[in-house]
Amino acid sequence: MGTRGGALAVAILLSVLLHQSILLASADGLVRIGLKKRPIDENNRIAARLVEKEEGPLLAARRYGLRGAPLKEGEETDIIALKNYMNAQYFGEIGIGTPPQKFTVIFDTGSSNLWVPSSKCYFSIACLFHTKYKSGRSSSYHKNGKSASIHYGTGAISGFFSTDHVKVGDLVVKTQDFIEATKEPSVTFVVAKFDGILGLGFQEISVGNAVPVWYNMVDQGLIKEPVFSFWFNRNANDGEGGEIVFGGADPNHYKGNHTYVPVTQKGYWQFEMGDVLVGGQSTGFCNGGCAAIADSGTSLLAGPTTIIAEINQKIGASGVVSQECKAVVAEYGQQILQMLLAEVQPGKICSSIGLCTFDGKQGVSAGIESVVNKDTRRSAAGLSDAMCNVCEMAVVWMQNQISQNQTQELIFNYLNQLCEKLPSPMGESSVDCSSVASMPDISFTIGGKKFSLKPEQYILQVGEGYAAQCISGFTALDVPPPRGPLWILGDVFMGAYHTVFDYGNMRVGFADAA
C-alpha cells in the first residue's frame, strides 16, 4: 500500500491486536462504552510508513488449545459504550486504582490479560504518548512483581504484574491482577488510540495464569448472567461507536434470534463453521467443517490463503503477483488436473508429484528447488515451502472448477487469475471503490445458517472522492493442522452480526445487528 492508505493500514494493524472501550454510566443501571471515529492526521501517515517497513504479517496466529471452568451467576448487568476509530479500532475507558486512574483500552476476546503502560516505562516511545499507571497514587495497590510478556500479531509488550481495583463502567472489580507494561517496542503501539488491552478470552491463554477481569466480575457477583455481548456501529458518521454489555445483551442492537454454536475449544472463543460461499456459490473449502473464532480484537476477517485469494479474485482485489504460484500452475498444472480427473485422493497429489512430503495428515516441504530463479541464492527451504503451499492451493482451486464442469482452458485461466490476486505480504488487498456496488455477497455457514456480508460491509473505505481508497476486509492467515484451517471473524463480521459470548452455556451466538 502507498501512503494514501497508510493510515488505514496502521488502524488495521493496531486492531489486529485488540479493541477498546470507554465507560459511561446510564440511568438504567447499565454502563455503555461508545465508539467514535477520528480524522486521519499526518502523525498517522508518518507512523504508517514506519509500520510498512516492519517485518511480519498483518495477522499472526495466536496460541490455541485451552480449557475453561464454569462461572457463577451474578446480580447485575453492565453496559459499556465503545468508541470507533475508522471501523478498525473500538475502544473505551476503564479505571485502575483508588481513586481510579483512567485508561483507554481495547476489549479483546482474543486474549485474556489486562495491561496498561507503567510509570516505570522509561525507554519506549509508545509510553510517552499514552497514560501511565502510577501505583504510588493508589491506596488499593498491592505489589506483585512477577515478570510478564505478551506477543500479539503486530507487537509485543513486557513488564510485571501488579494488583489493584479495576473500574469497568459502574462495576468495581477488586484485587485484579494486571500487567504494568515497561516495554512497548513496536511502532504499532506508538500510534495506537488505546493505552492498553483488556482481554476477554479464557484463563487458559492468560499469561502468568492471571485470572481475567471477566472471571472476577462473575466470581465477585457483579453481573447478572455469565454472558457478555458486543455491538459494533459501522456507520462512520455516527458519534456512537457501539457497546459491550456485561451480564446480557441489549435488544435494541440486534434483530430476531441469535444462532448459537457450541465452543469447541476453550482459550479463544472457538467454534465449528461450515461452507463459505461467494455470490451464493459454494467454494467447497469448508464443506467438511472449519474451525473459527469470534475475535473482537481483529479488525478484518482472516482465513486460509487458498480461499482468501479466491474471494479477493471474485471482488477484484489486487494483491502481489506470486511467481511461485504461476510457476506451479505452468509446470505441474496438467499433472494435477489429470490426477484429479483420475480421482486420486486430493490430499496426496502434491506429495505424489514431489512438491510436498506426506505425513498422513498434511503436506510438508520436501526441499524441492523452485522452478523460478534457479540461479538465485534464495533459501531452498523457504521456496519449497511456498511451492508446497501453492500446490495444495491449486488442488483446491482445480477441484472447485472441475465440480462446475469448467473446460481445461477456463480452469487454467482461473488459476492464473487467482495467482495474481494472492494477498500482499502485509495482508491487505485494495479494490476499486467504484466497483463496490457490483461485488458479490460473501456468506459463512454457522449453525446451519448462512451469514452473508454485503460489499459495503466487507470493504473498508478511507477518504472521499478522488482521494478515497478501499481495502478488502479479507486477509490471509494460514494456521496448519491440527489447529487449522482456522478463520478469524473479526470486526468486519462482528460489525454486521451482534455477537453474544455465553460462558454459562459455553456457546457463541450471532444475530443481525440493528
Q: Between residues 8 and 443, which one has the greater pLDDT?
A: 443
pLDDT at 184 over 80: yes
* Alpha-carbon dihedral sign for residues 128, 129, 131, 133: negative
Instruction: Compute the average pLDDT of residues 1-18.
Output: 38
pLDDT(4) > 80: no
The reported pLDDT for the residue numbered 7 is 39
Q: Is 247 within 8 Å of 225 (Cβ atoms)? A: yes
Q: Do the beta carbons of residue 84 and residue 458 sit within 8 Å?
A: no
CB 150 within 8 A of CB 201: no
For the chain, the distance separating the N- and C-terminal CA atoms, rounded to the nearest angstrom, is: 33
- Tens-digit pLDDT profile for residues 289-334: 899 999 998 888 999 988 998 898 889 886 544 556 877 888 899 9
Q: Where are the alpha helices (DSSP H) in 92-131?
A: 125-128
Q: What is the pLDDT of residue 133?
A: 98
Q: What are phi and psi of 198, to 5 degrees?
A: -115, 110
C-alpha–C-alpha distance, residues 401 and 336, integer Å: 13
φ, ψ for residue 417 (rounded to 5)?
A: -65, -40
Listed in sequence order, the residues at least 6 apart from 231 whose beta carbon sits closer than 8 Å to its beta carbon are 242, 243, 244, 245, 250, 253, 254, 498, 513
Q: Which cell goes with 313?
A: 479474485
Neighbours of 140 (CB within 10 A): 17
Question: 142-151, 157-166, 355-364, 387-396 — which is least confidently predicted?
Answer: 355-364
3-state secondary structure of 378: coil
pLDDT of residue 239: 63
The rounded distance, in Å, linking the Cα atoms of 114 and 197 is 6
Contact status, residue 306 vs residue 423, Cβ threshold 8 Å: no
The three-state secondary structure class of 457 is helix
| Neighbour count for residue 350 (Cβ, 10 Å) | 28
Q: Name the amino acid, one letter, at 87.
A: N
Report whether 92 contacts 20 (CB < 8 A): yes
The mean pLDDT value for 476-499 works out to 89
pLDDT value of residue 470: 87
CA distance readout (Å), 343 to 151, 331, 376, 395 = 44, 20, 37, 12
Q: Which three cell numbers stand for residue 310?
A: 479466491
Helices and strands, number each (H, E), in the chain: 12, 29
Please give the Cα distance from 122 to 183 (Å, whole number): 8
b/e map 37-55, b = 16+ CB within 10 Å: beebeeebbbbbeebbeee
Give the torsion sign (CA, 44, 124, 178, 162): negative
Alpha helices in 129-258, H assignment, sequence order? 187-190, 213-219
Average confidence (pLDDT) over 223-243: 84
Helix 305-314, helix 380-403: angle, nearest 10: 60
The more confidently predicted of residues 264 and 306 is 264
Give domain 31-63+78-232's CATH architecture: Beta Barrel (2.40)
Contacts of 212 (CB under 8 A, 6+ apart): 112, 113, 114, 199, 200, 201, 202, 203, 206
Cis bond upstream, residue 425 (ω within 30):
no
Across the range 192-213, mean pLDDT stands at 94
Q: Where along the chain do the CATH 2.40.70.10 domains lie?
A: 31-63+78-232, 251-319+423-513
The pLDDT of residue 460? 87
CATH architecture of residue range(s) 251-319+423-513 = Beta Barrel (2.40)
241 — pLDDT class (breaks 50, 70, 90):
confident
Which residue type is seen at 214? W
| Per-residue pLDDT at 175 | 98
Residue 379 banded pLDDT, cuts 50, 70, 90 = very low
Q: What is the DSSP string of 351-373?
A: HHTTSEEE-SSSEEE--PPPSSS
pLDDT at 263: 98
Q: Considering the chain, what percentage of its residues have pLDDT values greater than 70? A: 73
Q: Would strands 281-282 and 276-278 be described as parallel, antiparallel, or unpaired?
A: antiparallel
How many other CB atoms are found less than 10 A from the CB of residue 221? Answer: 12
Of 110, 233, 105, 212, nearest to 169 (Cα)? 105
| C-alpha cell of residue 171 | 462495576
pLDDT at position 13: 38
Q: Output the pLDDT for position 154.
A: 64
Q: What is the DSSP letter of 238?
A: -
Torsion of CA 436, 440, 446, 451, to 10 degrees: 60
Model confidence band, residue 88 (pLDDT cutoffs 50, 70, 90): low
Residues marked as catalytic: 108, 295
Mean pLDDT of the 87-113 span: 90
Q: Is the pLDDT of residue 90 over 80?
A: no
Q: Give every CB contact of residue 145 below 8 A, 6+ residues apart in sequence.
A: 160, 161, 162
Residue 31 CA: distances (Å) to CA of 27, 96, 168, 252: 9, 16, 8, 15
pLDDT of residue 153: 64
Identify the bridge partners of residue 278 per DSSP, sorted by sequence position.
281, 442
Q: What is the mean pLDDT of the chain?
A: 78
Average pLDDT over every residue of 55-76: 31
3-state secondary structure of 166: strand
pLDDT at 335: 94
On whether the CB atoms of residues 198 and 182 are closer than 8 A, the answer is no
**Which residue(s) pair with 180 in the sheet?**
116, 160
> Whose grid coordinates read 472522492?
465
Instruction: Choose between 383 and 52: higher pLDDT.
Output: 383
Highest-confidence segment of 43-47, 221-225, 484-488: 221-225
